[in-house]
């Protein structure tokens, strides 16, 4: 089965940015020429920093939004980062979606820290303050935006991903759709069921999160270079030869 193995981002100083992810978020880094690859051990995706990016500025109109790091204890992670002088929002339970907080890296890219459990459900023993971010962190999501009712924009619709969860936030005008290369089935076949959400935040691999926004015609952000997919079939590679921003390894 294919695996979502990387997210490409163009940055002005790949080495400097890689150091931030190693020093503060507990990732490891490898260099390949001018390109740097950072990530956690396991089956989740890496961040691939490519040289040549202009200063990054995020807009709610962009097609690329953020990465999400899922972990057992957001409060431990928040305390470590704030103690290190990193500006992080106060953790909060966002509706019936998750317990989370947010920060930006030195280049301006958005990062969400998302807890495995809703705030009242976290076990007392969750996390280890002696480990970076409390341990157990993975890149759980890469988030893209699409227009209204577009649940999986091209070229991603051709990749054979499976939808695992649908999370409407109707009063704010958007719905979240989560897709992955997996044979996993959520505990409740109703993809809007709340019980699927904490299950989803514990997955050890990276999901593709699509925020479908009412009335949005998203604009490509030049800093976002696309996704890398590992282990795809030759037929899939051939079908997507002319498509943009999907790379096979």
Is residue 56 within 8 A of residue 104, CB to CB? The reply is: no
Which pLDDT does position 236 carry in this prediction?
80
> Which residue ranges make up each domain of the chain?
3-248
CATH number for the domain whose boundaries are 3-248: 3.10.180.10
- pTM for this structure? 0.96
Which pLDDT does position 244 carry in this prediction?
67
Averaged pLDDT, groups of 10, the chain, 249 residues long: 95 96 98 95 97 86 96 98 98 98 96 98 97 98 93 88 97 96 97 98 98 94 93 82 76
Which pLDDT does position 157 carry in this prediction?
86
């Amino acid at each position: 089965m294919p695996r979502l193995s990387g997210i490409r981002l163009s940055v002005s100083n790949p080495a400097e940015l890689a150091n931030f992810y190693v020093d503060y978020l507990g990732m490891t880094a490898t260099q390949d020429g001018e390109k740097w690859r950072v990530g956690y051990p396991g089956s989740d995706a890496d961040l691939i920093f490519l040289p040549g990016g202009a200063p990054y500025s995020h807009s709610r109109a962009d097609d690329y939004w953020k990465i999400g790091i899922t972990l057992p204890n957001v409060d431990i992670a928040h305390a470590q980062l704030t103690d290190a002088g990193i500006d992080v929002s106060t953790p909060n339970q966002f509706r019936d979606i998750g317990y989370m907080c947010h920060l930006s890296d030195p280049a301006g890219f958005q990062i969400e820290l998302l807890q495995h459990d809703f705030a009242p459900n976290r076990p007392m023993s969750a996390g280890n303050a002696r480990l970076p971010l409390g341990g157990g962190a993975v890149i759980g999501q890469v988030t893209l935006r699409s227009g209204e009712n577009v649940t999986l924009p091209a070229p991603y619709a051709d990749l054979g991903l499976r939808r695992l969860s649908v999370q409407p936030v109707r009063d704010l005008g958007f719905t979240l759709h989560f897709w992955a290369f997996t044979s996993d089935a959520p505990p409740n076949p109703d993809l809007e069921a709340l019980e699927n959400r904490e299950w989803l935040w514990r997955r050890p691999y990276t999901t593709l999160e699509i925020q479908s926004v009412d009335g949005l015609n998203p604009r490509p952000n030049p800093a976002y270079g696309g996704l890398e997919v590992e282990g795809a079939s030759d037929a899939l590679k051939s079908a997507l030869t002319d498509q943009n921003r999907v790379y096979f390894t």
